[in-house]
Chain A
């Protein structure tokens, strides 16, 4: 359904070029929930925004984003507008995403009026049913400040699915929510039942939601695995380090810090923090295929 081929994103800044995403390739299959895991500064949000071309002008995007047979990077702005919200929905982080001076019902109805030319009253009627389905209740007339963090997240989901998109991209949907609210988001996403690309650093959330996961580190995809395999046996040393940082798995920190995206190491980018670092890691590892999983690490080179 959605395929990234060597997607590259660079930002030109006053102090130099930041390579936020480097040759990312993966495919999100119809009907699956694909979760992209990464820590802050790994480039995961930039990758998601590049798909919908939501990035600022100083971003240079290379490679291909194939959606239903079309390369989105080659479409004109007019065509792109027809895709955003209608075919691919974007669910942003919840804190600041809603317009504070517009009631939430109208905000959610807007895509329906925009993309289908529906009248205001029929659009609002449909939103009312959607609110019922998602457990928001009869609160369409209320304003964002009257909603709690968890409820605001629901409104954003409602807005995202209102135009019945084929694919939903959600950026950190559990940020700032506690454990109970995280469960609600999981239930909600399952209920919506759509092809999803979810960006998160919340491993417990990813474990509960994902069919497949990809891990991003310092601008590169380092592992792609079925979720079940990933959480029982992570392959990449960084993936292992991440899982071992969980309190339930020993709370063992990864030594050191993520290198700067402005000047990443030439070989393996995780090398300087890796317990398996060796001479060959000075060369950049490709993605190796291991039992249908992909991992960017020399440990998995077959002899």
Chain B
């Protein structure tokens, strides 16, 4: 499904780019269709950067990313944009994933609007998505600050699913949530994964959680995948 070959990403900081951090250092990774791969590592090990490289949200300095055999670097801007509907990110902090001045409905409908859904179709799809992640219709008319962390993370998942993606990177999706909420969100992701046949890269620093969620586990340290 998705493959990274010889991925390397270097961040430079400081005036004149004096400080150099090699975030991802020569990583080969392959994720097969329908599986959940858990990626564990301490903070600073490069796991989030690797996730974003695979989604092509940041460009690698070396190496390439293949999605269903297609080299993403060779795609034109328009083609890449179309492909992006197939790959989604669920970020760590749901609190700042939404525009605070938009009602939830508008945030969930935005990707549909951009990709040419009609009014009726759009409303139907938003309700369907809300139902799939366990949100009620009344939640849709609320603003982000009126929702709890768990409800917001459900909404983030609903938006990520809006365009029927195939591959989802979950970047510490529960580390900001309470323990009992974490369990319900992870259960939800696992259920959706089965029902929709999603391919998931699940990034976490919690080894026990990784063991529970992943079909396979990869461990990262200092920018390298050290164990698989």
Q: Do A and B bind each other?
A: yes
| A181→B150 CA distance, assembly (Å) | 25
Query: Is A247 in contact with chain B by the CB < 8 A criterion?
Result: yes
Query: Is B180 in contact with chain A by the CB < 8 A criterion?
Result: yes
| A245→B180 CA distance, assembly (Å) | 5
Question: Which residues of the partner chain B approach A265 to less than 8 Å between Cβ atoms?
Answer: none
- Can you list, as one digit per residue, whether each of A235-273 has a CB less than 8 Å from chain B (1) or not (0)? 000000110111110011110010000000000000000
Q: Which residue of the partner chain, among B148, B205, B206, B213, contacts A257 with CB atoms under 8 Å?
A: B148
Query: Is A40 in contact with chain B by the CB < 8 A criterion?
Result: yes
| A284→B193 CA distance, assembly (Å) | 41
- Pairwise interchain contact B43-A149, C-beta atoms closer than 8 A: yes
Within 8 A of B (CB), among A38-97: 39-40
Query: Is A101 in contact with chain B by the CB < 8 A criterion?
Result: no
Within 8 A of A (CB), among B116-137: none
Interface size of A by CB at 8 A reads 21
| A257-B150 CB under 8 A given contacts A149-B43, A178-B43, A252-B183 | yes
| A179-B183 CB under 8 A given contacts A40-B149, A149-B43 | no
Within 8 A of A (CB), among B140-165: 148-150
Query: Is A203 in contact with chain B by the CB < 8 A criterion?
Result: yes
The distance from the CB of A48 to the nearest CB of chain B, in whole angstroms, is 18
Query: Is B218 in contact with chain A by the CB < 8 A criterion?
Result: no
Query: Is A201 in contact with chain B by the CB < 8 A criterion?
Result: yes
Question: Which residues of the partner chain B approach A251 to less than 8 Å between Cβ atoms?
Answer: 183, 186-187, 209, 212
Query: Is B42 in contact with chain A by the CB < 8 A criterion?
Result: yes
| A246→B184 CA distance, assembly (Å) | 11
| A252→B180 CA distance, assembly (Å) | 8
Question: Which residues of the partner chain B approach A181 to less than 8 Å between Cβ atoms?
Answer: 42-43
The distance from the CB of A174 to the nearest CB of chain B, in whole angstroms, is 12
- Pairwise interchain contact B183-A245, C-beta atoms closer than 8 A: yes
- Can you list, as one digit per residue, whether each of A187-228 has a CB less than 8 Å from chain B (1) or not (0)? 000000000000001010000000000000000000000000
Question: Which residues of the partner chain A approach B183 to less than 8 Å between Cβ atoms?
Answer: 244-245, 247, 251-254
- Can you list, as one digit per residue, whether each of A138-182 has a CB less than 8 Å from chain B (1) or not (0)? 000000000001000000000000000000000000000011110
| A246→B209 CA distance, assembly (Å) | 8
- Can you list, as one digit per residue, whether each of B154-196 has a CB less than 8 Å from chain A (1) or not (0)? 0000000000000000000000001111111011000000000
| A285→B85 CA distance, assembly (Å) | 52
The distance from the CB of A50 to the nearest CB of chain B, in whole angstroms, is 22
The distance from the CB of B129 to the nearest CB of chain A, in whole angstroms, is 20
Question: Which residues of the partner chain A approach B182 to less than 8 Å between Cβ atoms?
Answer: 245
Question: Which residues of the partner chain B approach A242 to less than 8 Å between Cβ atoms?
Answer: 179-180
Query: Is B211 in contact with chain A by the CB < 8 A criterion?
Result: yes
Query: Is B207 in contact with chain A by the CB < 8 A criterion?
Result: yes
Query: Is B208 in contact with chain A by the CB < 8 A criterion?
Result: yes
| A241→B180 CA distance, assembly (Å) | 8
Chain B residue nearest to A38 (CB atoms) is: B178
Question: Which residues of the partner chain A approach B211 to less than 8 Å between Cβ atoms?
Answer: 247
The distance from the CB of A1 to the nearest CB of chain B, in whole angstroms, is 29
- Pairwise interchain contact A201-B42, C-beta atoms closer than 8 A: no
- Can you list, as one digit per residue, whether each of B13-49 has a CB less than 8 Å from chain A (1) or not (0)? 0000000000000000000000000000011000000
| A40→B149 CA distance, assembly (Å) | 10
Question: Which residues of the partner chain A approach B178 to less than 8 Å between Cβ atoms?
Answer: 39-40, 201
- Pairwise interchain contact B150-A247, C-beta atoms closer than 8 A: no
- Pairwise interchain contact A180-B180, C-beta atoms closer than 8 A: no
| A247→B207 CA distance, assembly (Å) | 9
Question: Which residues of the partner chain A approach B43 to less than 8 Å between Cβ atoms?
Answer: 149, 178, 181
The distance from the CB of A275 to the nearest CB of chain B, in whole angstroms, is 14
> Given A178-B205, A247-B213, A254-B183, 9 other A-B contacts at CB below 8 A?
A149-B43, A201-B179, A245-B183, A247-B183, A247-B208, A251-B183, A251-B212, A253-B187, A257-B150
Q: List 25 A-B contacts (CB under 8 A).
A: A39-B179, A39-B180, A40-B178, A178-B42, A178-B205, A179-B205, A179-B206, A180-B42, A181-B43, A201-B179, A203-B179, A242-B179, A245-B180, A245-B182, A245-B183, A246-B179, A246-B208, A247-B186, A247-B206, A247-B212, A251-B187, A253-B183, A253-B184, A254-B180, A254-B183
User: Which residues of A come within 8 Å of B, CB atoms?
Assistant: 39-40, 149, 178-181, 201, 203, 241-242, 244-248, 251-254, 257
Query: 4 tightest A-B contacts by CB?
Result: A253-B184, A253-B183, A245-B183, A178-B205
